[in-house]
Structure 1
Amino acid sequence: MGSEAGKWMIVAGAFILLAGVAVYFFHDKLHWLGNLPGDLRIERENFRFYFPFTTMIIISLIINLVIRLFR
């Protein structure tokens, strides 16, 4: 593993840290995240299934745009 991989790991860690800080301090403002149309939620008497399909697509697009901006 070269120094370039180490730099990218540090950048990824900083991004995860910033995302965690944003969720910690602004959780009351982010209530829509995970409740978008297209997020699959099945709740039965003894069973719960949740798959945030639309939320994952939006987060993926945002991460992809950020990566393209840094290239």
Structure 2
Amino acid sequence: MQKLLIVLGLVLLAAGLAWPWLRRLPFGRLPGDIHVVREGFGFSFPIVTCLVVSVVVSLLLWLFRR
């Protein structure tokens, strides 16, 4: 558990330091993501982004468990 927390902390630290470059990635704006904007109302459901992140995390976990 200690190693997992240390690794997660390092990943969050790296993501925080790389945020100026990471925010330029098209995540949240991919084709297939649902955005509804009306007067006084906004709804966003990034379904394709969720699928892409899920596949990447699954592949990384699969690689680390080998």
Scaled by the length of structure 1, the TM-score of the pair is: 0.76
Count of aligned residue pairs for this structure pair: 65
SS in 2 for 1:41: strand
Provide the residue aligned with 1:12 in structure 2.
Answer: 8
Identity %: 40
Instruction: For structure 2, list consecutive stretches of 5 or more residues without a partner in the other structure.
Output: none
Whichever residue aligns with residue 4 of structure 2, its letter is W
Calculate the aligned-residue CA RMSD, in Å: 1.6
| Separation of aligned partners in 1, 2:51 and 2:16 | 19
Task: Tell me what 1:39 maps to.
Answer: 33
Consecutive unaligned residues of structure 1, counting only runs of 5 or more, are: none
Q: Deviations over 1:9-37 (max 9, x none)?
A: 1112222222333332x14641x221111
Show the 5 A alignment for 1:49-68.
49-68=43-62
